[in-house]
Chain A
Amino acid sequence: QKEVEQNSGPLSVPEGAIASLNCTYSDRGSQSFFWYRQYSGKSPELIMFIYSNGDKEDGRFTAQLNKASQYVSLLIRDSQPSDSATYLCAVTPGGGADGLTFGKGTHLIIQP
């Protein structure tokens, strides 16, 4: 059974600080990793994707991937109240299979 694990939170971070969101996955063959942001009652929107070990930066967001540890994280620098949302980690399965497996999400609260 493919599993993607996230701490459900809520994770409370002061405005301006760095928010760190973590995700582990069970399928060692997974190739692609995604972070989606979802506001309450809205649809998920893609923030970052990463394929290779290491860091990938896009503005205030940095995705980090460590395939040996089966671990992917999302850092949000200079957190803003508008970053308050649920963040979903998603992973493609290994073995050439299709689709995405989502974690249950981490609820992030940025405190003004």
Chain B
Amino acid sequence: EAQVTQNPRYLITVTGKKLTVTCSQNMNHEYMSWYRQDPGLGLRQIYYSMNVEVTDKGDVPEGYKVSRKEKRNFPLILESPSPNQTSLYFCASSLSIHRESYNEQFFGPGTRLTVL
């Protein structure tokens, strides 16, 4: 089954304790992205990757890191989480993203993170 998976689905942690949220897709997609969703603020892009070893900042990158060592995986790293990073996080992927030819973004199931 074609899908985007995220782990963990739920996480409660404490301030300053490094964590990683994994994201994996089995569709051979080039483009992958991380979003956070907060009440009243909607979906905001954190980081995205056009392909292996190519990553770039989205609208709210502060406090996050990503890597793209393999095409299928795009982990989100919080080196020192803070309470303002409590949010619902979504990973998404698409075959490619190009100005003239855009392909559907498939979203993972989401990771609900609470930082105490």
In whole Å, how far is A60's beta carbon from the nearest beta carbon of chain B?
Answer: 19
A26 within 8 A of B: no
B114 within 8 A of A: no
Size of the chain A interface, CB-CB below 8 angstroms: 21
Neighbouring B residues of A22 by C-beta, 8 Å:
none
Neighbouring A residues of B50 by C-beta, 8 Å:
98
CA distance A96 to B104 in the complex (A): 17
CA distance A51 to B45 in the complex (A): 22
Neighbouring A residues of B74 by C-beta, 8 Å:
none
Given A45-B107, A49-B102, A98 and B56 touching (CB < 8 A)? yes
Partner of A99, one of B40, B97, B104, B108: B97
Name which of B42, B58, B107 has the most chain A CB atoms within 10 A of its CB. B42
A62 within 8 A of B: no
Query: Which residues of B from 64 to 116 have beta carbons under 8 Å from A?
Result: 90, 97, 99-100, 102, 104-105, 107-110
Tell me if B42 and A88 are in contact (CB < 8 A): yes
Encode A31-73 as 1/0 by CB contact (under 8 A) with B: 1100000000111111001010000000000000000000000
Tell me if B48 and A99 are in contact (CB < 8 A): yes
In whole Å, how far is A40's beta carbon from the nearest beta carbon of chain B?
Answer: 11
Name which of A51, A98, A101 has the most chain B CB atoms within 10 A of its CB. A98
In whole Å, how far is B19's beta carbon from the nearest beta carbon of chain A?
Answer: 20
CA distance A49 to B42 in the complex (A): 19
B33 within 8 A of A: yes
Name which of B33, B40, B56, B107 has the most chain A CB atoms within 10 A of its CB. B107
CA distance A48 to B35 in the complex (A): 20
Tell me if A44 and B90 are in contact (CB < 8 A): yes
In whole Å, how far is B93's beta carbon from the nearest beta carbon of chain A?
Answer: 12
Residue in B closest to A96 when the chains form the complex, CB atoms: B99
B2 within 8 A of A: no
Residue in B closest to A44 when the chains form the complex, CB atoms: B107
16 contacts between A and B (CB under 8 A): A31-B102, A32-B102, A42-B109, A43-B109, A44-B107, A46-B104, A49-B102, A51-B102, A92-B99, A96-B99, A98-B50, A99-B45, A99-B48, A100-B33, A103-B42, A104-B40
